[in-house]
Amino acid sequence: MSGAGHAVTVKIHGGDPTSGRGLAPGTASRPRLGLAQWRRAGSLLLDLALPATCVGCGREGAPICRACLPALAVREEAPAGIPIGLPSDVPDPLLQLEWCAPFGGLVRRALHDLKYAGEQRLAEPLGAAIADRWRRAGAGGDLIVHVPVHADRSRERGYDQAEALARVTARELRLPQIPALVRERATIAQFQLGRGRRAANVAGAFRPDGPAGRAVAGRWVVLIDDVVTTGATLVACADALLEAGAVGVSAVTVARER
């Protein structure tokens, strides 16, 4: 099936053995798996063979055990928004910025293992925590969009950690999720830069991605990412989404580093 839902008929003609043509009736050339697909397949096999261990206490069974899960919910009862009389720390043009927990301890280890150690099973409890926080504090939103990594980084890791989080969050909130943005150029990791250089590092780095990008028109988008510090990356994404016709952009992350 094509992306538009129409059946596609592939005709195999005789004559060119290098292109998969000239095959015996009822056979077809096998698709070649790229490095990212092999890594994903290997990760799934390892998940089946090796049980997870909790990043908090090391207990075998779940990537974050029941006893350690409260570390993701330290802001569960925190009111939404900014207390009256305090300056807002929500960067324009975001309508709202929420997060689940400070960037430290178990939360920091979990995000590190999700991003750099290939522990994709952590997307489940982390994405669910994002959904819980937004369910309690979110002012609205009708579409989930993740902050994408560059295509080279995604191929290297075999997945995009923010997209993995967004899929879980969208499922828990029962909202649609689309890959509406693409990162046009590789950028220096934000944690390697001082606060004053971060906005320039990501300015213009994102653009709407074809039909998915156009689908944000008239929608209130909720951006998903793993961690926020200054908010420069979220702002760059929000600018691209608003230019594509989104009526508003909010954001929620697993953690915030101050």
Length of the chain counted residue by residue: 258
Nearest to 202 by CA among 177, 225, 179, 222: 225
pTM: 0.79
| 24-29: long-range contacts, CB 8 A cutoff, minimum separation 24 | none
Return the axis-axis angle of helices 232-243 and 195-202, rounded to nearest 10°: 30
| pLDDT tens per residue across all 258 residues of the chain | 444 444 333 332 333 433 343 444 444 445 555 555 655 565 566 566 678 999 999 999 999 999 999 999 999 889 887 776 777 889 999 999 999 999 999 999 999 999 999 999 999 999 999 999 999 999 999 999 999 999 888 898 899 999 999 999 999 999 999 999 999 977 756 665 666 667 777 878 899 999 998 999 999 999 999 999 889 999 999 999 999 999 999 999 999 998
Nearest to 95 by CA among 234, 257, 245: 234
DSSP state of 69: G
Distance of alpha carbon 190 from the chain centroid = 16
Say how far apart CA 25 and CA 257 lie, in whole Å. 60
Contacts of residue 32, defined as CB under 8 A and 6 or more positions apart, other chains included, come to: none
Which domains does the chain show, CATH number per domain?
35-76+89-256 (3.40.50.2020)
Query: Is the Cα dihedral 131, 137, 143, 147 positive or negative?
Result: negative
Can you say whether residue 18 is alpha, beta or left, with left for phi > 0 and alpha for psi between -120 and 50 degrees? alpha
Return the axis-axis angle of helices 105-116 and 123-137, rounded to nearest 10°: 120
Contacts of residue 189, defined as CB under 8 A and 6 or more positions apart, other chains included, come to: none
Task: Specify the pLDDT at position 156.
Answer: 87
What are the C-alpha distances in Å from 122 to residues 14, 42, 117, 142? Answer: 48, 17, 11, 25
